[in-house]
Amino acid sequence: MNLPTEILRWRIVAAAGVLLLAGCSTGLQFRSEDSKGSTEPPPPTEMITEQLIAAEKQTNARQGDQDLSRLVVSHPPPYAIGRGDVLSIVVWDHPELAGGGMTAATAAADANGTNASAAANVPQPGFVVDHQGRIQFPFAGLLPVEGLTEEAARALLTQKLARYIANPNITLRVQSYRSKRVYIDGEVKQPGLQAINDIPMTLVEALNRAGGLLPTADQSRIALERGDERYRINLRDLVQRGINPGNIMLAPGDVVRVHSRDESKVFVSGEVVTPKALTMHNGRLTLNEALGETGGISPLSGDARQIYVVRKTPERTRVFQLDARLAGSLAMAESFELRPKDVVYVAASPLANWNRHLSLLFPGALTSAVGVTNRP
């Protein structure tokens, strides 16, 4: 018997025994240090059970239960005239009263930044509402119209002209809407300004005017900023709650941003067939779907007992663990909702850890030992 070969074989067996004991330990090993170098205790591991899933659903419901009552308007009011709007006013049988204002073509060109001569053929005159909310009209003088509807402004002007004209017949309408705007940004085809006109500016109307949502848009993450307040709108959740998105009324100065689906990713790594980053489906992705889209747990190296979900919250880091060998584990994985930026990690089996550690310590030694053992 070759003594050096026999010694090498026993060394490999001893090292393998030590590594096998080390590889039998389960669970992720977390270690964190603060700025002073002291080690903090690792976050506790929470087993995924039916009770935990029910508690998570209640937490998600509370977080998503934002009061949108101020945004929902079933019967929107008519358009109110504002500063900068251009009014078209016609007094029938009195064409001489039409020349006192700025032409509608000039006002439209000024609003759109186009050449005024291109629209100079528009015959109807226009009257611009000044910075104090007034227009100047012959015989009526300075007329405050800000905040009035077309009907109310027409009635006011009729009352003023009735002193000089018997039974005045007046047509008044908004020629150019320039006082109220909303801003649409993000994953829409045509982001930018949208003017509020006589058609109620609902959320759906604004998105349609912007060309609709892009395929990369996340319908569950639409942000609406109004002054110092910020609303999170989930179109899918609104429909499930019986709220018509067409009743969400926008106000002048609102900023609507449609987030991208790429901002809501889940990262799957470890012992799966194809580790990768997954895009959530309009804010929804379950643990079962995440494992399925990556090919499932690796049959050669994955440990079904050690499926982890690492979640960073503003308060702390949470670690969830699922034992896929238990009865009903697949149903729990389907009910466990992931959140953006979650990390799903499948740990390696003890045997896989043993093989890897042995290969690192003795590269090629196991193959040589097996070859020596099999020699006659």
Q: Which of 243, 261, 279 is the last residue of a domain?
A: 261
253 with 296, same domain: the answer is no
How are beta strands 217-226 and 141-144 bridged, if at all? Answer: unpaired
342 with 359, same domain: the answer is yes
Residue type at position 268: V
In the predicted model, is pLDDT for residue 210 greater than 70?
A: yes
Cβ distance 286 to 335 under 8 Å?
yes
287 with 328, same domain: the answer is yes
Per-residue pLDDT tens digits for 82-136: 999 999 999 998 888 875 444 444 444 444 444 433 443 444 458 999 999 999 9
Per-residue pLDDT tens digits for 17-75: 554 444 444 456 655 555 555 566 778 899 999 999 999 888 877 766 677 888 888 88
Q: What is the CATH number of the domain that holds 215?
A: 3.10.560.10
271 with 357, same domain: the answer is yes
Q: Which residues of 139-168 are buried (b: 16+ CB within 10 A; e: fewer)?
A: ebeebebbebbbeebbebbbebbeeebeeb
Percentage of residues in the chain with pLDDT exceeding 70?
A: 76
User: What is the total count of domains within the chain?
Assistant: 3
In a domain, 68, yes or no: no
What is the CB neighbour count within 10 angstroms for residue 116?
A: 13
Residues 102, 135: Cα–Cα separation, whole Å: 11
In the predicted model, is pLDDT for residue 180 greater than 60?
A: yes
In a domain, 51, yes or no: no
Reduced to 3 states, what is the DSSP secondary structure of residue 42?
A: coil
164 with 239, same domain: the answer is no
Using CA atoms, how far residue 31 sits from 38, 80, 110, 265, 364, in Å, is 10, 62, 64, 25, 32
Q: Which of 261, 283, 316 is the last residue of a domain?
A: 261
Residues in the chain: 376
Q: Which of 176, 199, 216 is the last residue of a domain?
A: 176
Q: What mean pLDDT value characterizes the chain?
A: 81
149 with 110, same domain: the answer is yes
Per-residue pLDDT tens digits for 251-277: 999 999 999 988 889 999 999 999 999
pTM over the 0.75 mark: no
Q: What is the CATH number of the domain that holds 128?
A: 3.30.1950.10
The residue range of the domain holding 218 is: 181-261
206 with 254, same domain: the answer is yes
In a domain, 45, yes or no: no
Largest CA distance in the chain: 130
In a domain, 138, yes or no: yes
308 with 281, same domain: the answer is yes
254 with 273, same domain: the answer is no
In the predicted model, is pLDDT for residue 279 greater than 60?
A: yes
